Structures are given as C-alpha cells and as structure tokens.
A and B are shown apart, each in its own frame.
Chain A
Amino acid sequence: MTAQQWRQRFSDLLAGNHSATGDPVDAGARLIVFDPDGEEVFRAALARHHRFVDEDRAVWIRPLVGGQDTLDGYMFNLGVTRRRALEWEDAQVVDGIVEMNLVTGQRARVEPADGADLEELACWDDFTDRLTPEEDTALRRLDADSWQGRYA
C-alpha cells in the first residue's frame, strides 16, 4: 500500500466517489477515533474538503460538529465546526476503510458515512449553499483557527 493509494482513498471517501447511486452527494465519509485502549472517543461525519500538508504528515479536515435544527432550517455554528488535524505515524486501506495510527497514540478510521452521519453531511451540503462563494472558499481553505463571520 503506497501513500498515494491511501491518500487517494481518503480523498475519494470525503468526496463521496464511492457512491452507489453514481452521484457523489449521496455518499461521504465519517471519522471515528479510538483511544490507545481501544475506546471510541470521537465520531462525526466529515465535510468534503481536506488539505494534506506533506511536510507535516498531516491532513486538515472539518468534522461536522455543531449542527442543529433551527426555525430557519438546519444550521451549523461555524465557531464550533472548526478545522481539526489528523497527524499520522502510518496509514493504510483495509477493506476500503482508511486506518491511521496517529502521533497522539490514538487510532483514526475514515470510512463511508451512513445513517445519521450521512444525513448530517447532507444537511451540511445544504447549509453551505447558504454561504457566499467567498465564505465557501474560506471554509475550504482550512486555514483559519476561528470563524469570524456569519454563522458563528
């Protein structure tokens, strides 16, 4: 398994390229993180954007935390849906799932989203349609430690 292979699978999962319907928006990825003792400590769908930082062996992602139904529809608090990083020691694809050993000692799994996680991703896709192109681009850059605009 080359680095290129697992990275490609990682990107495909987030993009939804594994969709059974042929339309990527019908699929996506979720992140599950386990502590060294095997306990699951984090689970969330992932927004479709990511950014690898080669020199750091890291990838920036945006777990979809902070969504809620409001009188104006399903919204996300962008102060909460902040960027996070996965820094890996090594990674591989196992049965279509990207498994990463993180430098923190935790283990991460990036896999196809389903159920509530896939619904959350659909809500995110819909929510981002409310954003201006500039706002959408800013989110995709994954370079901000906080969101200082609308929806935060």
Chain B
Amino acid sequence: MGTGSKSSHQSYAVSPTTPAESPAAPVDLAGAPTGAGDGDLAGAAAGGAPAEVPEGQQTLPEQPFPAEPPDYEALEAAVDEFLKEFGEEPQDTDAEAASAELQEAVALPEEGVVEGEQADHEDAAAGAEAVLLADEVEEAEEAANEEETDPPLTPVPVAPPAGEPTGAPILVGGDDFINSEATLVAYDSPDGPREVLLTHVSEDAEERLLDALSIPGTHMEDVEVEQEVKERLALDKDKQLAELTKSAVSSVQHKLKNGIPISEASIAKHQAAVDAVSAVLNDPGISDAEKDMAQHYKDQLDLVQDKIDNGGPPMPWMDSYEVTTTKTVTKQVQVPNGEPEPGTLEAKVRNASRIKATLDPETGQASWDGTARSHAKGTEYEIDMGDGWKAVYRPYKENDPASTEYSLRGQLEVHAPAGAGHSKELVERLEQLHLMNKPMTAAEGEWTYLTNNIQAQGLGKATGMKAAMETAQGLQDLQVQEIVHQRMESLMGLDSDALQTQMKRIHLEAAQKVLPMKVEVVRDAVAKASGFASGAELAASPGYEPTPSTAGKWLSWSRFDVTGKQEEIKSAFEGRSLTHSIGSGDLAAVLSTGVLASTEKRAVMGIGSGIGMSEHDDKMTGGANSVFLRVRSSDQAMGGTLVWDDPSVLMRRSDYYGYDGDHYGAINPDHEYYKKSKITRDPMKIAQFTTSTWGKNEVMFRNGIDLLGAEAPSRIVCHTSGERKKILASFEARGITELGGKPVEDVLCLSGDDS
C-alpha cells in the first residue's frame, strides 16, 4: 500500500516552483490554525475532508496589503499589518530575537540528516541555532533547490489508461484543488483517446483562476434567434388535457401496482379526462395537430379503460403530447465588452453541462466522442487555451448552491486534443489558469497525512496539539519576516499594488520553506498525543505511511492507529463484517467497473444518471461523495451483498465516518450544519456498532471502494449460480484470478455457503 515510501520528510525544505510570471499557488497546505487560537484542529486537514470546516475553506484568506512603503518603518508596519490581516500576531522583527524565540519554540532538524533517517527531537534542537538567521538563508535556498529531487507522490503517467472509467488519480501540490486531487481520464473515441484532467478547484483559488480569463457578458443584448422548442399545444394547456389524463393514469396505476381494486375515485378521474378529450376530438374546428394531440390522450385513456375493466400489470410510462417547432425567440445574450484582454484566455459563458460518457457494461470501457454533453443546472465557462486545448470551469460565484447542483461548483475540466500522451501537459497547462501545476511532493504529502490523522483519530484537542499548530504557524510568521528583511531594499521601491503582490508571494514562499519544520513539530505532537515517545518513534513505527494508497482507483490516506494494529482491528470485528447490499441489482455490472462508486464518481465515470443533487440533498444523505457500508453479523449475507470479513482493509483508510444507527439531519460532515455528537471515526467503536438483522448502522467511505484491488471484499454473495458463473467468466476473460489473496472461486459464493 502507499507509494512505497516509508520516509518522513523533515530534513529538507520545499521551495516555490511556480514561475515568477504567474501568481504563486498557496502552499499553506492544511490552512493550519492561525495564531488567533483556532482550537479545532480537525478543520486543519488539507488532504482529507475536514469534519468541521466546509471543503475549500481551509486556506488563509487573501487580504489586501494596505500600505505604501515610503520608508523602512512604514514597511515594517505594513508587514505587521499584513500579518495581522492574516490572523497572525506580529513577531519581534529582529532576526536574532526571532532566532532565539524559534529555538525555544521548536526543535530543528540536525544538519546533514538525509531523507529516510529520523532526527531525534532533542538532538535537532541542539542544531537549531543557525536556522532562519539571515546568514542561513542561502543554505535554506540551497535546500530549497533540493526540492527538485523530491519525487512526486503520484507520478504523472505518460497517458492515462484508455477507456478506464476511473482514470488515473494524481495529487497536485498546494491547495488549489479540493483534497489536492485531480484525475486523468482517457475516454475511448473514434478519433483516439480523449484525455481530460478532472478536478475541483477550491473556492479560495477561484479568484486567481478568473484573473487568467477574459469573461464576456458584462452587458446583455436582445438577439432574435431561431431555436427548436418542445412544447404542448395551446389547446392542450387551455383544456388541461395532459393534467386530466395524468391524473387518471396515476390513480389507476396506483391500484395496479398495489394490487387493489379500482376505486370510484379512479373511475371518476378517468371519466373527467375522457369527457375533456372527447369534447376536443368532437370539435370540427380543431387543426390536424390538435386532433393528433387529442388522439394521443384518447389512446392513453383507452388503455386506462382497459385496465379499469380488466386489470393486469401496470401501464408503461405515458408522457404529455409535445410538438417540436422552430421559433424565432428574443433572447438576452451576454455580449463581450470589447476584445479579450491581452495575456488572458478567452472564455465563453454557457449553461452548465457534464461530459456525457458511456460505459460498455461488458468490457467496462468508458467512451466519449469529445462533444456530447448532458445538461446540468448552473453556469460554466468554456475556455480556449489555444492549440486545440480547452477547459471548462463551473465557478462558485456564478452558481448559487441554493439553486444549482451541489457538486458542480468549482469543477474544472482540461481537455487535450484527441490522441494519447498528453498527461504531463494536462497538468502543466493548469498554469495557464493561474493554478498550481506541480505534483505534490513528499513533504507536502506528510503534512496532509498528519492532518488527516489528526482528524481521523480525533487528536485535535489532545494535549499539546493546539500549541504545536500555533508553533507551526509561528515558524511561518518568522520566515515571512525574515524574507522581508532580506528583500527590504527591493520592496521599498514598489508601489502599493506591487508590494501587495510581493507580500503574498513572500507569504507563500515562507510557507513552502518552513513546511518541513512544521511537519516535524506537528509529527512530534501527534506522536505524543497517540502514545509515542517522539515523532521519530512514530515515524519509525510500522504503521506510519505518509504516502497515499495508489493501488486503488482513487487515492486514499491511511491512519497509523489502524495500519499498525491490523490484528487488533480484526479481533475487534470478530464475528462481524462490513457489508454492502445492492439488493437485486446487477452484481456483474458493478464488478465490470471494478468499483463501488459514489454518485459523484459515477457521474465522472460515465455511469451516472446525469441527475445531479442539491446541497441540501447531499447534506441530508451524504450521498454525493460517499458509499455506505453496514456492520453486520458475518453470518448474515443475502444475495447481492459485498462482504468484508476482514474490515481492517477498509478501516486503515482515514476518510470514513460512521453512525451507530440511522441518524437524521445533516449527516455529511462536510456541511457546516451537521452535528458531530453521534458521528465516530474510531474503528474500535465502529466494530462494536449494534448489529441487527438488517444492520441500520452506517459507515461512509469517501469516493468509493476498489473492489478488485487491495480493498477487495472477502465474499461476493451472488443471487444465483448463473450470476456467479457469469462473473467468473468475466473475471477469467479479464485475467482476474484472485481477490484480496483469495481465489475468485472462493470469493464468489451463494447465500448459505459457508464463509
């Protein structure tokens, strides 16, 4: 599991890598709590779904830098003001004082420690005196250059696997993207693979993205256009024929579905509709179209009459009569106010849409012709990136969550020209959109890992954790001041706007440089909060894996309290399993995709319905981004059930939450209104959830579960032997012989088989 690196990363710095021409991406990876005293550290996670802070809210707000810099004193005052506006207390700006304070605040890594070795905390403190002093800046910059050798946690493939609906997940540095995640997908198409980068931009990064665009539509004009419209005839609306017919259909359908006698009320509704339709049909003055319309309803009502007389199975779906006409309509369209600004990308505003991919149920291959899109509620920008490249972005500011789809806001697609091999450029071109375009480094990954573990293990309020986070933030503040002092000469000549820009850049640079030290401070605090003597001991422990699992269809981070105690977890679940029932659904189809996917992931994979969901829906169900498992007795598994007899393969993840029973209200912790009283992320508590015949407890896993890889179920209970044979044949054709180390013949079973 993981990407293979067991190392922690305290011994080297991370330097800015964004070119000077473009705004640097924020790198305060988890939006660590400010010095203002944020005690709820769970919200500090960048890589996971914070429990108490909505997604995209973790970063520090960008604030205007308020001062002109006429002189040295004014500049220092401006720096202090800037830090205040970032919610930080100004520090003593004297470098020596800063150094002394720093020595007290944190033990620093010993010089010469190489990646993979663990610096002893106290030994490191002995070497702290030199750090952040002005004469050490050069050394820091040299260390920063070593960042080039820091390999990405998730290497960008040359080309994502063509037709693979889940694509190739990658992590991008900084926090421009929700959970730092992006996915490279290559849809099959007649023109060759259609390679697309899909990601969610964080709300804080949107302003920079929009700065990269020339967005038309600053004024509206009336334009007459011809368009095809489907509509009911005026006579239909006037006489309410569709409504009357639908009322009769619905009433009779209800009786048929429930096997109950047709009621007088149903007959009356039918008669009212028949009377209205007959009146129209008998009118000699109606047009041919109106006659067709009335006949359409008469045919439906005749079928209803037959059901009233004879009963039988429910009727097929019946729709209103609509005609397609070409109409000249006056539409208000957005008209650009002049030419695009030089150096920006031209964007067109249009109704929101989704890639309309299709999934072959036999092969599990996703295809898309590069143009087909399904309608969605909201607004998006189509962005011309030049050379046949384009992007589609659905901005937060144009999509009110009260009236548009919840998951749509912040979605970004980057499209390469047809053909394979564009993966690297798909990532690099994010820079055109003023977004971070470098893969996540190991040091960034360890910060994400730690903050995810703080959230998952509930360590946010542990002794020393708040102080550690404040210390981490203090380190960053000191680094900001140090850089300012170094560059005082050049900063003094800048006007207000340029100074503001430079200060933001310095802030980001400081965050990057100080990250390894922040990691060490927080690792030490996490270690002590979880029973380890030191961060070094924690890092050396067998369960410490500061890299995401890439074995599955998407990335997930582990939690060391489980990865180091798999046997304890298995023991706690003794006689119990995690299960997921698909009822009478098609197991073979689920297994053809290889994943149990959330609604949101299904949409991306091309197997979604295209029916979105509102923020309210997701808040109440958690359904957009999660799949639901239940803790049940191991001997209870009906056909159509996936069973994990060893739940530790899933409990090692850091992204789940559970309720012991069906809890109503906002259950998705991503939403601000949810109440955390009943939620748990503790695998030992989950193991003790009340099990009942039908298991009403719930454990939600983000994105979904990889059914054919490391997270494979122990048993797949088929409905019939025929279904089992069909799935076995499919596995054989795909070369799948084992799941979770067991022969597929043993994994695929029937209800009643011995487990």
Binding site for B on A (CB under 8 A): 15, 21-26, 33, 35, 41-42, 44, 48, 53, 55-56, 58, 60, 65-66, 68, 70-71, 73, 75-80, 82, 84-87, 102-104, 106, 108, 122, 125-126, 128-130, 133-134, 136-138, 141, 143-152
Quote the shortest CB–CB distance from A14 to chain B (angstroms).
11
A84 with B662, Cβ < 8 A, contacts A42-B620, A56-B693, A130-B317 known? yes
Q: B441-460, CB under 8 A of A: which get 1 and which 0? A: 00000000000000000000
Of A122, A148, A152, most buried by chain B (CB within 10 Å of CB) is A148
Quote the shortest CB–CB distance from A17 to chain B (angstroms).
10
Known: A75-B611, A134-B584. 12 other contacts (CB 8 A): A22-B263, A25-B251, A41-B664, A56-B694, A73-B319, A80-B617, A84-B664, A85-B696, A129-B250, A129-B318, A138-B585, A145-B629
* B661 contacts A87, C-beta separation under 8 Å: yes
* A145 contacts B623, C-beta separation under 8 Å: no
Whether, in the assembled complex, B612 has its beta carbon less than 8 Å from a beta carbon of chain A, the answer is yes
* A58 contacts B696, C-beta separation under 8 Å: yes
* B585 contacts A149, C-beta separation under 8 Å: yes
Which stretch from B128-136, B274-282, B503-511, B575-583 is at the chain A interface?
B575-583
Partner among B263, B266, B612, B630 whose Cβ is within 8 Å of the Cβ of A77: B612
* B599 contacts A77, C-beta separation under 8 Å: yes
* A80 contacts B613, C-beta separation under 8 Å: yes
Binding site for A on B (CB under 8 A): 246, 249-251, 253-254, 257-258, 263-266, 269, 313-315, 317-319, 375, 377, 579-586, 589-590, 596, 599, 602, 608-614, 616-618, 620-621, 623-624, 627-630, 638, 640, 661-666, 675, 678, 692-694, 696
Sample 9 A-B pairs with CB under 8 A, ordered by A number: A56-B692, A77-B612, A87-B696, A104-B664, A106-B663, A126-B246, A133-B314, A136-B314, A152-B611
Kindly state the separation between the CA atoms of A68 and B630 in the bound complex, as whole angstroms: 28
Kindly state the separation between the CA atoms of A33 and B663 in the bound complex, as whole angstroms: 10
Chain A residues closer than 8 Å to B313, beta-carbon distance? 133
* A23 contacts B589, C-beta separation under 8 Å: no
* A148 contacts B586, C-beta separation under 8 Å: yes
A104 with B662, Cβ < 8 A, contacts A42-B620, A129-B250 known? yes
Chain B residues closer than 8 Å to A146, beta-carbon distance? 580, 582, 585, 596, 627-628
Kindly state the separation between the CA atoms of A79 and B582 in the bound complex, as whole angstroms: 11
A103 with B269, Cβ < 8 A, contacts A77-B599, A80-B599 known? no
* Nearest A residue to B249, CB-CB: A129
Quote the shortest CB–CB distance from A87 to chain B (angstroms).
6
A86 with B662, Cβ < 8 A, contacts A75-B611, A80-B613 known? yes
Quote the shortest CB–CB distance from B63 to chain A (angstroms).
36
Quote the shortest CB–CB distance from A11 to chain B (angstroms).
12
Partner among A60, A66, A85 whose Cβ is within 8 Å of the Cβ of B623: A66
Chain B residues closer than 8 Å to A53, beta-carbon distance? 692-694
A68 with B582, Cβ < 8 A, contacts A87-B696, A129-B314 known? no
Chain B residues closer than 8 Å to A15, beta-carbon distance? 258
Quote the shortest CB–CB distance from B271 to chain A (angstroms).
13
Kindly state the separation between the CA atoms of A143 and B254 in the bound complex, as whole angstroms: 22
Quote the shortest CB–CB distance from A78 to chain B (angstroms).
8
Partner among B257, B319, B581, B692 whose Cβ is within 8 Å of the Cβ of A144: B581
A152 with B602, Cβ < 8 A, contacts A21-B265, A77-B611, A126-B250 known? yes
* Nearest A residue to B593, CB-CB: A148
* A60 contacts B664, C-beta separation under 8 Å: no
Chain B residues closer than 8 Å to A35, beta-carbon distance? 665, 675
* B696 contacts A56, C-beta separation under 8 Å: yes
Kindly state the separation between the CA atoms of A105 and B590 in the bound complex, as whole angstroms: 36
Kindly state the separation between the CA atoms of A108 and B590 in the bound complex, as whole angstroms: 35
* A152 contacts B319, C-beta separation under 8 Å: no
Of A22, A85, A122, A125, most buried by chain B (CB within 10 Å of CB) is A85
Quote the shortest CB–CB distance from B251 to chain A (angstroms).
5
* Nearest B residue to A58, CB-CB: B696
* Nearest B residue to A36, CB-CB: B677
* B613 contacts A77, C-beta separation under 8 Å: yes
Quote the shortest CB–CB distance from A141 to chain B (angstroms).
6
* A144 contacts B664, C-beta separation under 8 Å: no
* Nearest B residue to A61, CB-CB: B662
Quote the shortest CB–CB distance from A8 to chain B (angstroms).
16
Chain B residues closer than 8 Å to A106, beta-carbon distance? 663-665
A136 with B257, Cβ < 8 A, contacts A66-B617, A80-B613, A80-B617 known? yes
* B254 contacts A25, C-beta separation under 8 Å: yes
Closest 7 CB pairs of A and B: A144-B583, A41-B665, A23-B265, A33-B664, A148-B585, A42-B664, A85-B696
Partner among A41, A75, A77 whose Cβ is within 8 Å of the Cβ of B666: A41
* Nearest B residue to A148, CB-CB: B585
Chain A residues closer than 8 Å to B253, beta-carbon distance? 125, 129
* A141 contacts B693, C-beta separation under 8 Å: no
Kindly state the separation between the CA atoms of A26 and B629 in the bound complex, as whole angstroms: 36
* Nearest B residue to A134, CB-CB: B584
* B585 contacts A70, C-beta separation under 8 Å: no
Chain B residues closer than 8 Å to A24, beta-carbon distance? 254, 263
Kindly state the separation between the CA atoms of A102 and B664 in the bound complex, as whole angstroms: 10
* A77 contacts B609, C-beta separation under 8 Å: yes
Quote the shortest CB–CB distance from A81 to chain B (angstroms).
8
Chain A residues closer than 8 Å to B264, beta-carbon distance? 22
Kindly state the separation between the CA atoms of A146 and B585 in the bound complex, as whole angstroms: 9
Partner among B250, B579, B611 whose Cβ is within 8 Å of the Cβ of A70: B611
Kindly state the separation between the CA atoms of A73 and B694 in the bound complex, as whole angstroms: 34
Kindly state the separation between the CA atoms of A82 and B624 in the bound complex, as whole angstroms: 12
* B613 contacts A66, C-beta separation under 8 Å: yes
A144 with B584, Cβ < 8 A, contacts A23-B251, A152-B609 known? yes
A138 with B584, Cβ < 8 A, contacts A60-B694, A66-B623, A77-B612 known? yes
Partner among B265, B582, B693 whose Cβ is within 8 Å of the Cβ of A22: B265
Chain A residues closer than 8 Å to B608, beta-carbon distance? 152
* B317 contacts A144, C-beta separation under 8 Å: no
* A23 contacts B263, C-beta separation under 8 Å: yes
* B621 contacts A82, C-beta separation under 8 Å: yes
Chain A residues closer than 8 Å to B661, beta-carbon distance? 85, 87, 102-104
Chain A residues closer than 8 Å to B623, beta-carbon distance? 66, 77, 79-80, 82
Kindly state the separation between the CA atoms of A80 and B628 in the bound complex, as whole angstroms: 11
Chain B residues closer than 8 Å to A26, beta-carbon distance? 265
Chain A residues closer than 8 Å to B317, beta-carbon distance? 129-130
* Nearest A residue to B589, CB-CB: A148
* Nearest B residue to A31, CB-CB: B664
Chain B residues closer than 8 Å to A138, beta-carbon distance? 583-585
* B662 contacts A85, C-beta separation under 8 Å: yes
Chain A residues closer than 8 Å to B613, beta-carbon distance? 66, 68, 77, 80
Kindly state the separation between the CA atoms of A87 and B661 in the bound complex, as whole angstroms: 8
Chain A residues closer than 8 Å to B599, beta-carbon distance? 77, 79-80, 152
Kindly state the separation between the CA atoms of A41 and B677 in the bound complex, as whole angstroms: 14
Chain B residues closer than 8 Å to A149, beta-carbon distance? 585-586
Kindly state the separation between the CA atoms of A141 and B638 in the bound complex, as whole angstroms: 13
Chain B residues closer than 8 Å to A84, beta-carbon distance? 662, 664
Kindly state the separation between the CA atoms of A106 and B665 in the bound complex, as whole angstroms: 10
* B254 contacts A125, C-beta separation under 8 Å: yes
Chain B residues closer than 8 Å to A71, beta-carbon distance? 375
Kindly state the separation between the CA atoms of A24 and B614 in the bound complex, as whole angstroms: 29
Partner among B621, B628, B664, B675 whose Cβ is within 8 Å of the Cβ of A145: B628
Chain B residues closer than 8 Å to A44, beta-carbon distance? 620
* B694 contacts A58, C-beta separation under 8 Å: yes
Quote the shortest CB–CB distance from A74 to chain B (angstroms).
10
* B609 contacts A150, C-beta separation under 8 Å: yes
Kindly state the separation between the CA atoms of A22 and B376 in the bound complex, as whole angstroms: 39
